[in-house]
């Protein structure tokens, strides 16, 4: 496999980890520096040595591929795609596939590292991976997206597989993307391989409850965190940043649980209604127009102002680095539950902790998706399907038990929930490394 990779990739080995967390991050932080700073803190807490630190800070395998695309008008474009496998000590690598114009190798490295910690923290038998193509899916027809997805899949074919690395949806991709990946992989294998992806359509072997699993998990954690902060969810208010696969359903489930969702945003703008937005009507509007902007049931709000709303709960469910040292001091929410991966920089974390804001980290809060992806994989292996209510109750049980575990660890050691969660996860991965030993 190593020879194959060397022959087919422009693979790059990352630099040494930056062991000292940045003190300020307004202009220098990237998702990768953030992820490495979080790892460095966990390593120092656990008292692990430099050798293990370097190994955990460095992806195990990286693939950069050129993805040529024939456009509908006959012209040709070239995109760059990535697949990074951060760690597979606890099982096959697992992680989403992102289509966004600004995707780069460092972002994918960070997202892959967070996947390793998430899988370890939730005790699902996977390592971490992530993929991406630097493409804006909104600029392409469905036929073009199908061609780019199939070509990318065929370029990364040597390193993926149900026992190697299993992609799933992320920003800009969905169950249709997963169906194309599954078909491309299956055609190349000569037989149908449903376990190559999770987040597939249910008619192709997807799991009940997968599409909304991340949002359900975010909601279970948000309700537990509000109660922990002494707030009654039925008398609480929330703002949700991002109205995509995670944010839209999180807003809906929070509203169903009695939380008044007063503000919601997407990349085009935000809407606000102090009495609470009608989330079903907002979702209809967003489906019809492609954005929350222009929704008649609320007033327009500046997108950046969404994070500073006077609410009890803030759910960032869009992109990385939105809470940084330039705005963390202005956050009014008492509780932040990270639907997105990496929305809070380390400097913002410190400011929020000093100000008494409870931040529930991504690797715990948004793990519902990977839990039900794991259920999808288990069901495929058993060729047996669980009912939606079975999936949902197993998801809730896993999320709340991880919440209790992280909370207990944090309180016993006076740590932030992020440091506790990262340390617990790193400890599990390090234990797998220790037991397996170093080859040769």
Residues with Cβ within 8 Å of 261's Cβ and at least 6 positions away in sequence, in order, are 237, 238, 239, 240, 251, 254, 255, 276, 277, 279
Burial 360-396, CB ≥16 within 10 A → b, else e: bbbbbbbbbbbbbbbbbbebbeeeeebeeeebbebbb
Cis? peptide before 440, omega within 30° of 0:
yes
Of these, 34, 144, 183, 266, which contacts ligand NAD (CB under 6 A)? 266
76's tokens: 């040709």
For this structure, is 118 an active site residue? no
In this complex, which beta carbon is closest to ligand NAD, that of residue 53 or of residue 83? Answer: 83
CA distance 381 to 399: 23
In this complex, which beta carbon is closest to ligand NAD, that of residue 265 or of residue 379? Answer: 265
By the rule CB under 6 A, 301 interacts with ligand NAD: no
377's tokens: 């994989």
Q: How far is the CB of 269 from ligand NAD (least distance, A)?
A: 9
In this complex, which beta carbon is closest to ligand NAD, that of residue 11 or of residue 291? Answer: 291
By the rule CB under 6 A, 392 interacts with ligand NAD: no
Q: How far is the CB of 340 from ligand NAD (least distance, A)?
A: 3
Of these, 319, 331, 391, 399, which contacts ligand NAD (CB under 6 A)? 319
* SS3 (DSSP) at 270: strand
By the rule CB under 6 A, 97 interacts with ligand NAD: no
Q: How far is the CB of 102 from ligand NAD (least distance, A)?
A: 10
By the rule CB under 6 A, 309 interacts with ligand NAD: no
Determine the interface stretch with ligand NAD among 37-45, 163-171, 184-192, 429-437 (rule: CB under 6 A): 163-171
Of these, 134, 340, 371, 420, which contacts ligand NAD (CB under 6 A)? 340
Q: What is the Cα 191 distance to its own chain's centre? A: 30
Determine the interface stretch with ligand NAD among 4-12, 142-150, 337-345, 424-432 (rule: CB under 6 A): 337-345
In this complex, which beta carbon is closest to ligand NAD, that of residue 58 or of residue 214? Answer: 214
- Residues that bind ligand NAD (rule: CB under 6 A) add up to a total of 24
Cα separations in angstroms, 38 against 165, 324, 346, 347, 363: 24, 15, 7, 11, 12
Burial of 436 by CB count in 10 Å (0-12 exposed, 13-18 middle, 19+ buried)? exposed
Of these, 30, 219, 366, 379, which contacts ligand NAD (CB under 6 A)? 366
In this complex, which beta carbon is closest to ligand NAD, that of residue 170 or of residue 312? Answer: 170
By the rule CB under 6 A, 233 interacts with ligand NAD: no
Cα separations in angstroms, 187 against 82, 115, 157, 174, 176: 22, 28, 11, 20, 16
Can you spell out the DSSP letters for 79-96? EEEEEEEEE-SSSSEEEE
| Partners of 134 in beta bridges | 100
* Site string (205-224) toward ligand NAD, x via CB under 6 A: ---------x----------
By the rule CB under 6 A, 170 interacts with ligand NAD: yes
By the rule CB under 6 A, 422 interacts with ligand NAD: no
Instruction: Show contacts with ligand NAD in window 36-95 (CB under 6 A).
Output: none
Half-sphere exposure of 421 (CA within 13 A, CB side): 28
Cα separations in angstroms, 27 against 17, 330, 435: 19, 18, 41
CA gyration radius, the chain: 21
Strand positions, DSSP E, 227-280: 237-241, 260-266, 269-272
Of these, 17, 95, 298, 339, which contacts ligand NAD (CB under 6 A)? 339
By the rule CB under 6 A, 171 interacts with ligand NAD: yes
Whether the Cβ atoms of residue 176 and residue 154 lie closer than 8 Å to each other: no
299's tokens: 């007033």
Of these, 318, 331, 417, 429, which contacts ligand NAD (CB under 6 A)? 318
Of these, 14, 267, 327, 416, which contacts ligand NAD (CB under 6 A)? 267
**Catalytic one of 94, 118, 130, 200:** 130
- When CB distances to ligand NAD are compared, the closest residue is 244
By the rule CB under 6 A, 116 interacts with ligand NAD: no
284's tokens: 């209809």
Q: Which residues bind ligand NAD (CB under 6 A)?
A: 169-172, 214, 241-247, 265-267, 303, 317-319, 339-341, 366, 369
Provide the annotated active-site residues: 130
């Amino acid at each position: 496999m190593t020879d194959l990779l060397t022959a087919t990739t422009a693979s790059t080995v990352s630099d040494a980890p930056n062991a000292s967390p940045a003190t300020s991050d307004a202009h220098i932080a990237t998702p990768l520096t953030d992820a490495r700073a979080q790892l460095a803190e966990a390593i120092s807490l656990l008292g692990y040595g430099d050798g293990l630190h370097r190994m955990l800070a460095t992806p195990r395998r990286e693939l950069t591929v050129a993805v040529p695309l024939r456009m509908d008008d006959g012209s040709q474009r070239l995109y760059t795609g990535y697949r990074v496998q951060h760690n597979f000590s606890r099982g096959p690598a697992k992680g989403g596939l992102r289509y966004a114009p600004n995707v780069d190798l460092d972002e994918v490295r960070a997202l892959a590292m967070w996947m390793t910690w998430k899988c370890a923290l939730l005790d699902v038998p996977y390592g971490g991976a992530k993929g991406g193509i630097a493409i804006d899916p909104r600029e392409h027809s469905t036929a073009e997206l199908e061609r780019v997805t199939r070509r990318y899949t065929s370029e990364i074919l040597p390193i993926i597989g149900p026992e190697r690395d299993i992609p799933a949806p992320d920003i800009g991709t969905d169950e249709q993307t997963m169906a194309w990946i599954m078909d491309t992989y299956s055609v190349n294998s000569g037989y149908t391989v449903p376990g190559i992806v999770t987040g597939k359509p249910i008619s192709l072997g997807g799991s009940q409850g997968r599409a909304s699993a991340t949002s359900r998990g975010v909601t279970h954690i948000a309700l537990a965190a509000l109660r922990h902060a002494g707030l009654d969810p039925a008398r609480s208010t929330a703002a949700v940043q991002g109205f995509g696969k995670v944010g839209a359903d999180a807003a809906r489930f929070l509203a169903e649980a009695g939380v008044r969702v007063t503000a919601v945003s997407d990349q085009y703008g935000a809407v606000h209604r102090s009495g609470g937005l009608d989330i079903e009507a907002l979702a209809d509007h967003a489906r019809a127009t492609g954005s929350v902007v222009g929704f008649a049931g609320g007033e327009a709000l500046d997108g950046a102002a969404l994070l500073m709303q006077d609410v009890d709960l803030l759910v960032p469910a869009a992109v990385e680095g939105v809470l940084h040292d330039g705005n963390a001091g202005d956050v009014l929410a008492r509780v932040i539950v990270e639907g997105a991966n990496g929305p809070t920089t380390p400097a913002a974390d410190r400011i929020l902790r000093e100000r008494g804001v409870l931040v529930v980290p991504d690797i715990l809060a948004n793990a519902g998706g990977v839990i039900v992806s794991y259920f999808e994989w288990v069901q495929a292996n058993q060729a047996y399907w669980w009912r939606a209510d079975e999936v949902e109750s197993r998801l809730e049980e896993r999320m709340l038990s991880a919440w209790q575990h992280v909370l207990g660890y944090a309180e016993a050691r006076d740590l932030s929930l992020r440091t506790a969660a990262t340390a617990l996860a790193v400890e599990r991965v390090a234990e797998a490394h220790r037991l397996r030993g170093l080859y040769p």
